[in-house]
Amino acid sequence: MKAPVRFRVLEYMTTVEKACPDEIMEAMRNEYGTERHFTKKSFIDHAMCLKANGLLEDAGAELNDSGELILFYSINEEGKKMVSKYMPNK
């Protein structure tokens, strides 16, 4: 049984210094890529929700070649505690 996507996003964030939703999606493509909710909008929502709940924080922003604003996030101590509480092997 797969872990909920939002929790897997949080778990993934423990393995990188910072990431944007596109990078998170690429990392999870093999596990969740065939699911209906595997969309950029969903992953932006996951990151924003985790930030709103105090588990991620802003880690920068930049414009891509198309002029689209790309937001980066990093996990904070509360997020790390949450992952270690529910996945002690991480």
Mean per-residue pLDDT, 9-16 = 97
Return the exposure string of 36-57: e unless at least 16 CB atoms fall within 10 Å of the residue's CB, then b: eeeeeebbbebbeebbeeebbe
What tens digit of pLDDT does each residue of 35-88 get?
A: 999 999 999 999 999 999 999 999 999 999 999 999 999 999 999 999 999 887
The pLDDT of residue 90 is above 60: no
pTM of the model: 0.90
Q: Is CATH 1.10.760.10 the classification given to domain 5-86?
A: no
Provide the pLDDT confidence category of residue 34 given band limits of 50, 70 and 90: very high
* Distance of alpha carbon 32 from alpha carbon 87, whole angstroms: 19
**5 closest CA partner among 23, 20, 24:** 24
Query: Which of 69, 58, 67 lies closest to 13, judged by CA?
Result: 58
Tokens 């709103």 belong to which residue? 52
Per-residue model confidence (pLDDT) at position 48 = 97
